[in-house]
Structure 1
């Protein structure tokens, strides 16, 4: 009997010493799909290249986890790509994928052998009622999990869930929670300052200003949500039922908004548009804004004649630090109520606490 007890005790001890089998990681993506990983992602195909800053907030060495990246980062945010490539030389050596006229390069993606593919909502395309489509089905058939993220459609609503999703998949839950708490606190502070406002200035936001015919503007979501959170009303919302669209110069003059905001980025540098972003000095941004405001039809707007015309970085429309756009807009729309709101201080704290690559440039500008 003694030998039997000793044998059973030894067996129990051996079982206790055996390594525990880790439970699968599950999270919900921007399409409401359940994403399941057997372990934290180590070989990520970041097809949504402009999501790199979001990932780097959670893991400052996340570039070491990438096996490929979408061309959208370099094409649409060249300033961000340049800054990250300077900090992480490996970024420039990664295979680049691009969704072209033929659709998403599924075979190239599978050949990279990722353990996670991250798509933005546009790349993923429409899905059926079961939450799948041919692209998602093909990747699933190859045994590759896919997470779809959306930082663009409604950034104020969706940034928190996206960051928690990515934090879960990278095993960086604490980092995700710290960042989303920071953003939430700053948005709440702006809302508190605006409780006593008695006006709601009408704002026209001119996207990619100076590089396209007048005037491309957000309708629903994106910057329209920022304008509302900053205590304003989007002039184009009543005209544009979708996410964005074209407003003619004649229609804009008829609206005659109280405030005009042009957006731009370094992708417009060779197109004669408003230039803002990483690596852009204030003098360059100031000159670019002045050129936009001198456009004959725009110059007739009351907002421009009265000095209530400004420039804002287009990159905020897909950035996890979109809170900066809200703070800046609130300062422009309600200066008396937001004296203690300090976007420069917020940016400095983001750089110190969260951003792997500091945002160093001009991201908003006022006329001289």
Structure 2
């Protein structure tokens, strides 16, 4: 091969290499970090199924929903949050770093866009049941990204924690978080394999309002191994009021109601648990409902309470393990929900374990 041909061969060979590498790069996940002359970015698929490209790592964000803020804190990135909603900030002990008089709005559906713009965040994070489409429309002109993370969505827990790890460059902490809370669910699944399901009636803070398929509380019951007494029934909404007579007819083995301290904003929870007097009175009121003394759960004293604050931990996985223990105490002898709740509060939130959020407390070994 003469010198000219050698040069031509080298040019051809290098060109082929470039095509090969380019082809390999097209198969890479959309989650890869892009860099170069422009600022680094990372692309994720959020809880609403949207593909979102954001600066990497995020350094300034505003967040709606206490559940979202908890997940971000669990992954070690709460210092990147420069503004929250009132539903979060109202809890002065648990969220003392945020001023309830200086929030981005009451909640995910009542946002103060002027305040959000004033804070100059790189992104707004809010749940799927919030006004994220409106937010995207209003904030895009200010180069503020909108990311949908739904801290209450148990079914999408792992994907959402991974997304938090990616956008804040906290992958290691996120993976540790996921592993910690997958383990008890795997134990529950193993122990309850082939076990006949026990029927559960779950009730919201509002009396006679329960959960149907598609609701996150419905998923919580599924993960616990229980069977929702309204499984298979369709409603216009995933949660709705029901006829009390239907609960008597369906005769659940276990009844679980959600409660919250009287000082909390409607539909929210507080780190401080309700008083023992409130808990006892709530259980007595349930047992005294007309005809409910004939329900198996009432006869066997299997009526339990979980607070809005307590059960929502780790995308409602905390609620799932307590519910499982109440439903199947004989099958889940090695499951200790109190210890799992302690880990959630102390290891991932930086707060002292506090009892009173699950009542009566399940008996453990």
TM-score by length of 2: 0.78
For the residues of structure 2 that align with 1:293 and 1:285, how far apart are their CA atoms?
12
1:195 maps to: 193
SS at match of 1:287: helix
Selected match of 1:98 from 100, 106, 113: 106
Q: How does 1:150-161 map to 2 (within 5 A)?
A: 150-152=150-152, 154-155=153-154, 157-161=155-159
1:7 maps to: none
Selected match of 1:257 from 247, 252, 266: 252
Shift in alpha-carbon separation, 1:35–1:359, aligned structure 2, 3 A: farther
1:10 maps to: none
Q: How does 1:34-49 map to 2 (within 5 A)?
A: 34-49=51-66
Q: Deviations over 1:139-178 (max 9, x none)?
A: 12221111111233x41x2111111112212111111111
For the residues of structure 1 that align with 2:359 and 2:88, how far apart are their CA atoms?
24
Shift in alpha-carbon separation, 1:33–1:270, aligned structure 2, 3 A: closer
**2:200–2:256 CA contact under 8 A, matched in 1:** yes
Give 1:236 deviation, angstroms.
2.3
SS at match of 2:276: helix
Q: Are 2:324 and 1:330 aligned?
A: yes
**2:61–2:122 CA contact under 8 A, matched in 1:** yes
Selected match of 1:351 from 345, 352, 355: 345
More displaced 10-residue stretch of structure 1: 279-288 or 108-117: 279-288
SS at match of 2:258: strand
The higher-RCO structure (CA 8 Å, 6+ apart) is 1
Give 1:351 deviation, angstroms.
3.3
Selected match of 1:111 from 90, 107, 118: 118
Give 1:38 deviation, angstroms.
2.5
Q: How does 1:23-38 map to 2 (within 5 A)?
A: 23-38=40-55
For the residues of structure 2 that align with 1:223 and 1:172, how far apart are their CA atoms?
29
Supply the RMSD in Å over aligned alpha carbons. Answer: 3.1
Residue ranges of structure 1 left out of the alignment (5+ in a row): 1-18, 126-132
Q: Are 2:100 and 1:83 aligned?
A: no
For the residues of structure 2 that align with 1:112 and 1:29, how far apart are their CA atoms?
23
Shift in alpha-carbon separation, 1:262–1:240, aligned structure 2, 3 A: farther
For the residues of structure 2 that align with 1:329 and 1:282, how far apart are their CA atoms?
21
1:169 maps to: 167
2:261 maps to: 266
For the residues of structure 2 that align with 1:352 and 1:109, how far apart are their CA atoms?
31
SS at match of 2:193: helix
Count of aligned pairs: 324
Q: Are 2:312 and 1:295 aligned?
A: no
**2:262–2:274 CA contact under 8 A, matched in 1:** no
Residue ranges of structure 2 left out of the alignment (5+ in a row): 1-35
TM-score by length of 1: 0.77
Give 1:47 deviation, angstroms.
2.5
Selected match of 1:72 from 62, 87, 92: 87
**2:258–2:306 CA contact under 8 A, matched in 1:** yes
For the residues of structure 1 that align with 2:351 and 2:246, how far apart are their CA atoms?
41
2:272 maps to: 279
For the residues of structure 1 that align with 2:302 and 2:252, how far apart are their CA atoms?
10
**2:87–2:107 CA contact under 8 A, matched in 1:** no
SS at match of 2:232: coil
Shift in alpha-carbon separation, 1:351–1:70, aligned structure 2, 3 A: closer
